[in-house]
Structure 1
């Protein structure tokens, strides 16, 4: 079987009211433009998310559904989705519907325009539709991260990204790694690019994160990623 040109990986947890509409938008954005698949990874939802996804397979032959047997979090869901993906390039979206699938073709067009060394295109929410407290917390977190990691990325928390599958799988894996993909890609020797994208209000359900929870985990992760970067050594290898 010929692999698709793009895999869209979507981690979900308790998003039963959002997954059908999100999948319909993905199909509207991509059908007729390229061969694609959607890999939804259910992180042990306690509502009807998994049942809705299984029913949607009858209408969407592009849909694949993975189910965690224990709840592991967003980074593990993304990592497992990318491992299962069949395309050489992967786009990711958050499962809450705040990312706009219509931005995926824009990311693909930017990928085709820039140098081959760019292996990650990260969405940049220039007009965030979150609460004031979340926007404030995000600005502080991005400022601290940029000062420590020097990753030249204004918004690493945006769920919509496009990257080469193999480059992603070669990165060190850890919980919450999805928030540090630009820095990790640059550590591996690749270039990254931030692309302005649309951002929408959550249509249904509740956020899985709190500002305090992000801060507690973020301090530890920042120190860890900073250490990884400091200990990195790269050189050009020539076969003789």
Structure 2
């Protein structure tokens, strides 16, 4: 299917967010009306065990702006986002969490920086999370930047726009969503970070704990640093140029 250059698909992973799904489309109305792109919302049900899928089907049926895909079982945030990249048919893809702790209107700030950058990522100002969550995230971000030197302060911010081609060129692994800036820079592409708003969670519960917020990301950071150190670069100085012979069909 041909890529839509004037479109952007906003990927919204969902795992047991039944209470908040009805808020999603109204929260996006302002952004959709002011965006310079034709906006599609793609909800990815990551094997929810509550009634999230039923609610997703309702809003998809009521709006041409909303599409969805659903996993048969929980596969994790990175898998949900990656599936969204693959399902999308637009030149640009966005990402936001279903809990709406970031503001869809801030996508307008990110839009203003493309196509000069391949990834525009948010930086949450005045985060409204718990002290433990904020501290573990701050340490993980410091460790990641110390190891990878991506120059980003809030790599895990759930508000991003990137080119779909850059997104699909990233290696897929569990936890990749924490490293979008570094994975974009590895490709030799451009990244910028923009301040965005942050709000307390209103519905649902956080899916993160000490293991998946701190320990696992540290292991992934070390693995990614190893991969960066093992990169091999080359420059082609010459190549043969031959005309392709025309093929005649009788």
Please state which band the TM-score falls in when normalised by the shorter chain: over 0.9
**1:216 Cα shift?**
2.2
Q: Which residue is equivalent to 2:86?
A: 83
Q: Does the CA-based 8 Å contact 2:96-2:102 persist in structure 1?
A: yes
Structure 1: 4+ residue segments shifted above 6 A: none
Q: Which residue is equivalent to 2:40?
A: 37
**1:60 Cα shift?**
1.3
Q: Which residue is equivalent to 1:194?
A: 193
Larger Rg: 2
Classify 1:103/1:235 alpha carbon distance in 2 versus 1 (closer, same or farther; 3 Å). farther
Q: Which residue is equivalent to 2:57?
A: 54
1:6 alignment partner, SS class: strand
The alignment yields a C-alpha RMSD, in angstroms, of: 1.7
Gaps of 5+ in 2: 240-250
Spell out, residue by residue over 1:195-227, the C-alpha distance to the aligned partner (whole angstroms, 9 max, x if none).
000111111110000124322211220111111
Q: Which residue is equivalent to 1:207?
A: 206
Distance 2:105 2:238 in 1: 43
Q: Give the structure-1-normalised TM-score.
A: 0.93
Gaps of 5+ in 1: none
Q: Does the CA-based 8 Å contact 2:127-2:134 persist in structure 1?
A: yes
Distance 2:34 2:101 in 1: 24
Q: Does the CA-based 8 Å contact 1:14-1:49 persist in structure 2?
A: yes
1:218 aligns with 2:220: no
**1:153 Cα shift?**
0.2
Q: Which residue is equivalent to 1:99?
A: 102
Distance 2:145 2:100 in 1: 27
1:128 aligns with 2:130: no
Distance 2:133 2:53 in 1: 29
Q: Which residue is equivalent to 2:138?
A: 139
Q: Does the CA-based 8 Å contact 2:141-2:153 persist in structure 1?
A: yes
Distance 2:234 2:124 in 1: 34
